[in-house]
Structure 1
Amino acid sequence: MPYPLLVVTAVTAEAEAVRAGADPGHVLVEPVGVGPAAAAAGTARLLATGRYRAVISAGIAGGFPGRAPVGATVLGTRSVAADLGAESPDGFLPIEELGFGSSLLVADPLLLKGLTAALPEAITGDVLTLATVTGAATTANTLATRFPQAVAEAMEGFGVATAASGANIPFLELRTISNPIGPRDRAAWRLKEAFAALSTASGALWTACG
């Protein structure tokens, strides 16, 4: 029997949405906590205690206006630690410019190819990981300029990718968009629609990645 696919989410509500659509015989779904540190630690623990075909970081996210509308499904070509670096008088310096490593991890090309084929309406692009959710238009505009290929923002992908990379396990980030990035207007969020889209997308996971 092939090894199962591991899907990690931040919170239980996301895990339940994935389980509603995924093949329970081949896909293990576990919430690991909010933020990149909890995501990395939780994923590393799971990978140390089991054997898996691949790891998917899944959940809802904010979408960059004009790139990923509310309700869309996003497949991350890269998971980017957007706030990993240092401030300077001339602006933000990513960790690469400091000489301390890399702020991005590339999705497994076979996983990306399989899911792109299975989810032809999905939007592909960079998914940013931030420890602080964007809540101001100025920050959203700055991120959109710094990362022209970014389509969404979440809080766990780079942490999950780091754990998967350390264990030499294929990785990809799957997100559905619940709100536009920018000023926090809870009335404009569409959580129900985003969870429904997550369940639908999760139905393709084992077929595309198994």
Structure 2
Amino acid sequence: MPHRILIVTAVTAEADSVAGGLATLARPGGELSVPGGLVLRRYAAEHGGADVLVGGVGPAAVAAATGAALTRAALAGEPYGLVVSAGIAGGFPGRAPLGSLVVSDAIVAADLGADTPEGFVPVEELGFGRSVHRVPDALTAPAAAALAAAGLPHTTGAVLTVSTVTGTADRAAALAGRHPGAAAEAMEGFGVAEAAAAHGAAVLELRAVSNAVGPRDRAAWRIGDALEALRRAVTVLDTAFWEARPCS
């Protein structure tokens, strides 16, 4: 059965890349207002439809925006079958080079917890909350296979959500040590995942790498290349998204 997907980005430039990819195989369906001053860009296709939402920067803003869009869809009787957090990100050296793509197998709130004299303690070990959303292989594997078939460089791994972007070698090493499966770092995935979970929707994170996680070196950033990689990924992933049958 066809279903709609919701693709959430942080900023307009990312949404434009996603929309550019969707437009190659789907028909633009106009815009729809969502409470909170948000706007959904709608696309329709025989195998389903997609809505693109600019949800804001950081886990709190994007969780609120995603929740508003999911609530609107539920009240309209057209709930989403899948929610995708998409955009550019920092890649961990040795795991995700510049210009490559990362498909999440886990979405992790990397700094949700407490610092102690013995080191960082995740929120689960404090006895409340959660900091990890596992992504089922039924989502990760088809997405990775589609990218491989198109010859797009990619990796599968955890995408870390942080509220403060890493800017030093020490913090990059600490994050990599705590999360050895991490491939990329961004600021929104966990917020999107929390909202999706509250509505019983499956979730996946897709990132295009614009810079290395570590010391900030703006001269080395490749934002334009990453946005183009994101656009190209959507052109080959849209069918995989719509045909996926995840267990939410």
State TM-score, norm by structure 1: 0.97
The residue that corresponds to 2:89 in the other structure is 61
The residue that corresponds to 1:97 in the other structure is 125
Work out which structure has the larger RCO, using CA pairs closer than 8 Å and 6 or more positions apart in sequence: 1
Runs of 4+ in 1 over 2 A off after TM superposition: none
- The counterpart of 2:173, out of the listed 136, 141, 145, is 141
- CA-CA distance at 1:113 after TM superposition: 2.2
Structure 1, gaps ≥5 residues long: none
- CA-CA distance at 1:101 after TM superposition: 2.1
In structure 2, the residue corresponding to 1:16 is in which secondary structure?
helix
Structure 2: distance between partners of 1:63 and 1:88:
27
Structure 1: distance between partners of 2:144 and 2:214:
27
Counting only pairs closer than 5 Å after superposition, residues 11-160 of structure 1 correspond to structure 2 as: 11-22=11-22, 23=26, 24-25=43-44, 26-50=49-73, 51-120=79-148, 121-160=153-192
Structure 1: distance between partners of 2:65 and 2:90:
23
In structure 2, the residue corresponding to 1:206 is in which secondary structure?
helix
- CA-CA distance at 1:109 after TM superposition: 2.8
1:127-159 Cα shifts (integer Å, max 9, x gaps):
000000000111001111111000000000001
The residue that corresponds to 2:2 in the other structure is 2
Cα RMSD of the aligned pairs, angstroms, is 1.1
**Percent identity of paired positions between Structure 1 and Structure 2:** 54
Structure 1: distance between partners of 2:66 and 2:193:
9
- Of the structure 1 ranges 101-110 and 74-83, higher mean CA displacement relative to structure 2 is found in 101-110
Structure 2, gaps ≥5 residues long: 27-42, 74-78, 243-248
In structure 1, the residue corresponding to 2:89 is in which secondary structure?
strand
- Of the structure 1 ranges 1-10 and 45-54, higher mean CA displacement relative to structure 2 is found in 1-10
Structure 2: distance between partners of 1:103 and 1:149:
15
Larger Rg over CA atoms: 2
Asked if 2 retains the 8 angstrom alpha-carbon contact of 1:7 and 1:30, the reply is yes
Q: Matched residue pairs, number? A: 210
The yes-or-no answer on 1:205 pairing with 2:228 is: no
- The counterpart of 1:195, out of the listed 196, 209, 227, is 227
Structure 2: distance between partners of 1:186 and 1:18:
24
Structure 1: distance between partners of 2:90 and 2:222:
11
1:57-90 Cα shifts (integer Å, max 9, x gaps):
0000000011100001000100000000001111
Structure 1: distance between partners of 2:172 and 2:210:
16
1:166-207 Cα shifts (integer Å, max 9, x gaps):
111111000000000111111000011000000000112321
Asked if 2 retains the 8 angstrom alpha-carbon contact of 1:5 and 1:206, the reply is no
Structure 1: distance between partners of 2:196 and 2:15:
19
